[in-house]
Homo-oligomer: A and B are copies of this chain.
Amino acid sequence: MQSNEPPRKTPGERATIHDVARLANVSPATVSKVLRGLGAVKAESVARIHAAVRELGFRVDPLAANLRRSRRSIVGLIVPDFRNPFFGSMVAHFERLAEGSGYRLVTVSSAEKTEREAAQTEALLDWRVAGMIVVPTDGRPAAEASLLDQKVATVLLDRVPDETGFDRVSVNNVEASAAVIRELVARGHRRILLGPSSLDLTNMRDRVDGAMAAARQADIVEDIEVLLCGPDVASAMHAMASRFDEGRLPTAIFTLYSPATLAALREVERRGLVMPRDLSVVGFDDIEWMQVTHPPIAAVIQPVQAIAEVAWAQLMQRLAEPGESPRTVEVACELDLRGSVAGPPA
């Protein structure tokens, strides 16, 4: 880091590599070489160059530096929604990972719309990003053709397609969801409501499938109910409210993403129901507030940090070896059964 008061000679204008070269009495090519630690340069020149860099407060323009290469040292990250803390946390982890790796991270959101995801992807490709990390809006990159066409190293995250030419990282959605159902069944529940956002998302489909498989095992498939809750908190509130209005509630709700958990609790609260006496609730995704409710909400914990680390490592690996065939990694979730779960009402 440089000091707070860069001793620039020309306030308002940044020094260029030519200014440094002039001051150090060498050519711009030599400055460039020294700055990137390449080749053999006379010690005297090196010293003069470093002095000039300090004197002028010179810092290279990373965008111009990459112009001659076909790819910029930028990684693009596309998430569905900044307001969801799960993705917020993901962004924070990637930002930390990008530091020191020599890549800059540019993060954009698709707002859960495929057209926007496509437009954002194209915009990042316009920047000649070296790589991309994408949480596809509905399980398949919206600008898949362009990504493949331009051969940009890409890792898909969270909502990953079954078949794809890209690297993938996800959690063990099927098994984690099955485990939740098994726990509920073990406590005596039969009538269980599942709350996915939509069945177009591959991760949601996997969660429903896992839950259903466990239900089949327990022979309670016919008692399982699926409520589509839509992309965000607003839609989930609406869906839950309608369902609660209908009456004859199940004895347990397993919400498959955090906005639905929020919506379910809101209805529980509004109608004066008491967890877990009247209703058990388990959410997929653990968020900080889930431990300040009364009782705390049981949750499937996604290891965000591990997901980000694995994905970043995969991306770096692919940038190093573009030819390798795509790999898939599945990270295991943990189930924390908190106070919101008990047996069904007597």
A residues bordering B, Cβ < 8 Å? Answer: 1-2, 4-6, 8, 11-14, 59-64, 67, 70, 72, 81-85, 87-89, 91-92, 95-96, 104-109, 111, 115, 118-119, 122-123, 125-128, 143-146, 149-151, 233, 262, 265-266, 268-269, 287-289, 291-294, 296
Contact = CB atoms under 8 A, between A and B. Distances in A.
Nearest to A261: B292
Contact of A5 (B92, B145, B293): B145
A107 B288 CA distance: 24
Given A8-B149, A89-B82, A146-B6, A269 B293 contact: yes
A106 B109 contact: no
12 contacts: A1-B122, A4-B118, A62-B126, A62-B127, A63-B63, A82-B89, A85-B85, A92-B111, A262-B292, A266-B291, A269-B291, A293-B294
Contacts of A14: 128, 150
Given A61-B126, A83-B92, 20 more contacts: A1-B115, A1-B118, A1-B119, A4-B146, A6-B145, A6-B149, A12-B150, A62-B126, A63-B63, A63-B67, A63-B72, A64-B67, A81-B92, A82-B91, A82-B95, A85-B85, A105-B108, A266-B292, A268-B292, A269-B291
Contacts of A95: 82, 108-109
Contact of A145 (B4, B60, B107, B266): B4
Contact of A233 (B81, B104, B288): B288
Nearest to A151: B12
Contacts of A294: 269, 293-294
